[in-house]
Structure 1
Amino acid sequence: MVEIRHPDWVTIQENGKDVLGYNQEWYPEKRQKLAGCGPTAGSMMAAYIERRQQGRKVETRKEALAIMLDIWKYATPRMHGLYKTRWLKEGLTAYMQERGLKGKVEALPIPSIRLLAPKLPKVAAFIREGLEADCPIGFLNLHSGGEPIPYHWHWMPLVKMEERDDGIYCTLWDEGTAHVFNLGNWLKHTKFGGGFVRITNS
């Protein structure tokens, strides 16, 4: 099993309770609430790196929203959202460079044509290396493929991966709750693909 070492760094305190991760519903504008999943996932990745390198704490919804609004400027959703992994990769790279943060942002797109998509060992290695480098992974799910993933056409952070007898399972956070899905089954059955973005060498 491999997972981020400090889940508390991207856990928000609200009304005395722990909320896992940030929520695009916290954005102030309607378009941001509708299309803001990419910047929201990206802001958790950025906040994690900033906490480690610069000591910036994000512990309340207000503090989370501040970084979400920042990342929105760098990874602004297009007409149909942020549906290419390279857009989040480019946005995070620019944000980190401007703030003097160390790290390499990399993307692994999963095309909808299965013959062109990377195989499970390569995808699992990409995720494992990203989590071992200790940062949440941005996961773009364009179609859930029958797995218990909350939404299609949606970005979420991956925080853990584990090998079980029946496959490789990833844990994602969305709307304050953890969800677990079978990575191999997702790759096999997703109709539209998606992809992953990680930060290493940070």
Structure 2
Amino acid sequence: MQIKHPDWLQIHRQQCGVLYGYNQDWYRTSFQRTRGCGPTAATMLLVYLNRRQPGSLPYEAGSLTAIADILEEVWSFITPDRLLGLNSTGKFCEGADRLLSHYGLSWRCQRLGVNALRKRRPSLGEIVRFLETALAADYPVAFLNLHRGKVAELESWHWMVITGLRYENAQDRYQITCYDNGRCLTVDLGLWLQTTRFGGGFVYIELPENHE
């Protein structure tokens, strides 16, 4: 399964083809560019929901310049720490809640943390159900990966956005599709959960019932 309109988070450019998701390198300062993956993921979630509910936010992502302006606006609410960045789903949601309150929106953050201690982590099944709930309702999911484990495709201490999930019966594994700084990645979810040292988590922003 996947969100209904993954193309809403794609940018088509003649020079470099399709960019999958936004890039933290579009921030204006070097500090923002090194810490900006969390606000970048949040921007993607918010822009997507604003396409579903046009006019809810003053975000028109029609050009790279416009997206860069939105990134700056989101940063002012969802602001990474100078040392650790945006290193928890709680910090992500606190900032998102401030932004949503500022605009008078009753959208809500839903989050599932993955503890560094293995015995306190949710099971793979619980994570899959969380993702299925989000994707079935057409919500992209922000994914915090504090340590990539044995998943070579991932970058540690990093946020990206999940747009799809599928089960591969032959390999008995769940694969997630992630947009990350212009790339489209396929990640073995179970392998990440089994091998990550520091955990991470998942966040989506939910529209109220009967909002549409």
Structure 2 length as normaliser, TM-score?
A: 0.89
1:51 aligns with 2:54: no
Give yes or no for contact 1:12–1:59 (8 Å, CA) kept in 2.
Answer: no
1:159 aligns with 2:163: yes
Counterparts of 1:21-170 in structure 2, within 5 Å, are 21-55=21-55, 56-78=59-81, 79-165=83-169, 166-170=172-176
Whole-Å separation in 2 of the counterparts to 1:149 and 1:60: 28
Whole-Å separation in 2 of the counterparts to 1:53 and 1:45: 12
Give yes or no for contact 1:130–1:137 (8 Å, CA) kept in 2.
Answer: yes
Q: In terms of mean alpha carbon deviation, does 100-109 or 173-182 score higher?
A: 100-109
Aligned-residue Cα RMSD (Å) equals 1.5
Whole-Å separation in 2 of the counterparts to 1:185 and 1:155: 17
Q: Which residue of 2 aligns with 1:178?
A: 184
- Deviation of 1:92 after TM superposition, in Å, equals 1.4
Whole-Å separation in 2 of the counterparts to 1:57 and 1:135: 19
- Deviation of 1:7 after TM superposition, in Å, equals 1.4
Whole-Å separation in 2 of the counterparts to 1:133 and 1:101: 18
Give yes or no for contact 1:4–1:160 (8 Å, CA) kept in 2.
Answer: yes
Q: Which of residues 176, 191, 194 in structure 1 aligns to 2:197?
A: 191
Give the match's secondary structure for 1:94: helix
Q: Which residue of 2 aligns with 1:6?
A: 5
Give the match's secondary structure for 1:3: coil
Structure 1 length as normaliser, TM-score?
A: 0.94
Query: Where does the alignment leave 5 or more consecutive residues of structure 2 unmatched?
Result: none
Q: In terms of mean alpha carbon deviation, does 27-36 or 175-184 score higher?
A: 175-184
Post-superposition CA distance 1:117-170 (Å, at most 9, x none): 000111111111111121210100011111133310000001100011121110
- Deviation of 1:61 after TM superposition, in Å, equals 1.1
Whole-Å separation in 2 of the counterparts to 1:164 and 1:13: 30
Give yes or no for contact 1:12–1:58 (8 Å, CA) kept in 2.
Answer: no
- Deviation of 1:59 after TM superposition, in Å, equals 3.0
- Deviation of 1:8 after TM superposition, in Å, equals 1.9
